[in-house]
């Protein structure tokens, strides 16, 4: 995500690394390149103009702190202004003093409203909240059935009416939510391929009947300025409170994310970053700004790890490493845990400067590699997993047949495992693991 923009931003900012001080000339050159980079990223031209003007004013209007180089000073300013145009602070969903809180999703057809309804329900369920989903799209073929299927996947409630009157469905929906005590109602509404009067009239009617706690516009990041223009139209016609951007993982340019808040004045609250129901995250402006500048997103990586990893299991594994009792079975379990964090490219992209490192960026990470390694270990007998030294040529051939991977891969896995075991015996590693064991007891 945003690799092109990140690369260009860093190229421009590195130009200032060789400068002894900030001058009118060098800042003018840098800002011209930044301006072109943002326009190529499909950022709204008014936003670009405001951004570059603000950076220039701050860069030339302030004395550089003695502790900062001109380069560091500009990076600090640019990061701050990126956060400003992205919305500055992370915003939470609105809450209601009475149950249920009603969320109404709006947007054009094809932006992912229905799948987003399921992802939002999954997210709220993870927060311990109960959700009732309902489709108010009576025009699109199988819209109700699609959302019903998604609701089963995320184990959320689903309301289906036999009526073809939006007024009556809305009334029945609210009554049902009150009866069963749901925390949230998520209403998926109709969309069109383009904005028209009929759509807006229908949505105004639905909004009037539901009296939602929050109206959220769902926009497709890949459509760039079209998403920004649509959000502005929906905001002006029916009124929206916040934004969810879908397909942000596939958006190489980032124009929608970098424009939509400034243009609409509404915050981005969540982003869709994949196809799975769990590929849905809170939007943090400061973290995205850091990613654009090559500083990574370590906080999100830590949060993912905390959500997926079992603390007790991690402690047991650490003690095994300390006692040098780490087996291939343990190795396989660790690989499975890594898979839960997402693809290796995603993980590397969250580490500082890793996404911008050309040697790493040009490597084609085989996302099936971990799956293959787990399959190899699963094809071994319990005795082989605990004592890999007994795995001779005949056994390797049998394992290869069992998992469908070449013998070379089995040789490589065993070599890597042996190297890992050697590392675990080294003083620096044992010292680190003892520190971990001490800290876990303190926690």
The string of pLDDT tens digits covering residues 91-145 is: 889 888 888 999 999 999 889 999 999 999 999 999 999 999 999 988 887 899 9
Residue 407 phi/psi, 5-degree rounding, is -60, -30
Least confidently predicted of 63-72, 97-106, 164-173, 216-225: 63-72
Task: Give, in order, the Cα–Cα distances in Å from 342 to each of 117, 252, 285, 290, 335.
Answer: 22, 19, 21, 20, 12
d(CA 276, CA 279): 5
Of 14-18, 71-75, 249-253, 436-440, the one with minimum mean pLDDT is 436-440
Residue 170: pLDDT band with limits 50, 70, 90:
very high
71-97: pLDDT as tens digits: 777 778 888 888 888 887 778 898 888
pLDDT at 227: 87
Q: In the chain, which residues fall in CATH 3.40.50.300?
A: 101-295
Cis geometry, peptide bond prior to residue 100 (ω within 30 degrees of 0): yes
| pLDDT for res 216 | 97
What mean pLDDT comes out for the span 375-381? Answer: 93
Question: Which pTM does this prediction carry?
Answer: 0.67
Say how far apart CA 322 and CA 284 lie, in whole Å: 37
| Max mean pLDDT range (285-299, 321-335, 339-353) | 321-335
For 158-177, what is the mean pLDDT?
Answer: 92
Lowest mean pLDDT among 21-35, 100-114, 259-273, 428-442: 428-442
| pLDDT at residue number 154 | 95
Average confidence (pLDDT) over 202-206: 91
Instruction: Give the neighbor-by-neighbor strand order of the sheet with 214-220.
Output: 157-159, 131-135, 184-188, 101-106, 214-220, 242-246, 268-272, 280-282
What is the mean predicted confidence (pLDDT) over 155-184? 92
Summarize the confidence of residues 336-356 as an average pLDDT.
Answer: 55
Superfamily covering domain 301-442: Signal recognition particle, SRP54 subunit, M-domain (1.10.260.30)
DSSP code, position 63:
P
Evaluate if residue 67 carries a pLDDT over 80. Answer: no
Q: Which fold has domain 3-86?
A: 1.20.120
What is the location of CATH 1.20.120.140 in the chain? Answer: 3-86
Stronger pLDDT, 123 or 357, i.e. the higher one: 123
What is the structure's pLDDT at 322?
67
Centre a 10 Å sphere on the Cβ of residue 208 and count the other Cβ atoms it contains.
12
| Confidence check: pLDDT of 171 > 70 | yes
Burial letters for 275-287: b for 16+ Cβ neighbours within 10 Å, e otherwise?
Answer: eebbbbbbbbbbb
Task: Return the CATH number of the domain spanning residue range 101-295.
Answer: 3.40.50.300
For position 367, what pLDDT does the model report? 60
């Amino acid at each position: 995500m945003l690799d092109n923009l990140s690369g260009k931003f860093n190229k421009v900012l590195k130009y200032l690394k060789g400068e002894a001080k900030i001058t009118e000339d060098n800042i003018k050159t840098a800002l011209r390149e930044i301006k072109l980079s943002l326009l190529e990223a499909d950022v709204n031209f008014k936003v670009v103009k405001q951004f570059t003007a603000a950076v220039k004013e701050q860069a030339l209007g302030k004395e550089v702190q003695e502790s900062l180089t001109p380069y560091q000073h500009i990076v600090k300013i640019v990061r701050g202004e990126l956060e400003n145009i992205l919305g500055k602070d992370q915003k939470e969903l609105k809450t209601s003093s009475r149950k249920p809180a009603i969320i109404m999703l709006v947007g054009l057809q094809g932006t992912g409203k229905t799948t987003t309804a399921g992802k939002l329900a999954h997210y709220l369920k993870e927060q311990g909240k109960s959700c009732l989903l309902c489709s108010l799209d009576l025009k699109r073929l199988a819209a109700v059935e699609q959302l019903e299927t998604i609701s089963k996947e995320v184990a959320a409630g689903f309301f289906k009416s036999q009526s073809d009157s939006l007024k009556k469905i809305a009334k029945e929906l609210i009554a049902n939510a009150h009866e069963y005590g749901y925390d949230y109602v998520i209403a998926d509404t109709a969309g069109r391929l383009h904005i028209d009067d009929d759509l807006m009239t229908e949505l105004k009617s639905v909004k009037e009947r539901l009296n939602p706690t929050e109206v959220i516009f769902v926009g497709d990041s890949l459509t760039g300025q079209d998403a920004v223009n649509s959000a502005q139209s929906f905001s002006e016609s029916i009124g929206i409170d916040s934004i969810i951007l879908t397909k942000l993982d596939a958006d190489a340019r980032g124009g929608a994310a970098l424009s939509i808040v400034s243009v609409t004045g509404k915050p981005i609250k969540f982003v869709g970053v994949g196809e799975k129901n769990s590929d849905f995250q809170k939007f943090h402006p400061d973290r995205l700004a850091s990613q654009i500048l090559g500083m990574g997103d370590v906080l999100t990586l830590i949060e993912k790890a905390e959500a997926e990893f079992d603390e007790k299991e991690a402690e047991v594994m650490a003690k095994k490493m300390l006692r040098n009792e780490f087996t291939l079975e343990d190795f396989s379990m660790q690989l499975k845990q890594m898979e839960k964090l997402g693809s290796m490219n995603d993980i590397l992209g969250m580490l500082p400067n890793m996404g911008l490192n050309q040697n790493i960026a040009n490597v084609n990470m085989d996302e099936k590699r971990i799956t293959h390694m787990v399959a190899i270990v699963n094809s071994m007998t319990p005795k082989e997993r605990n004592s890999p030294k007994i795995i001779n040529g005949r056994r390797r051939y049998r394992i290869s047949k069992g998992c469908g991977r070449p013998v070379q891969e089995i040789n490589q896995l065993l070599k890597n495992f042996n190297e890992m075991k050697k590392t675990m015996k080294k003083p620096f590693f044992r010292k680190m693991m003892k520190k971990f064991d001490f800290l876990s007891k303190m926690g």
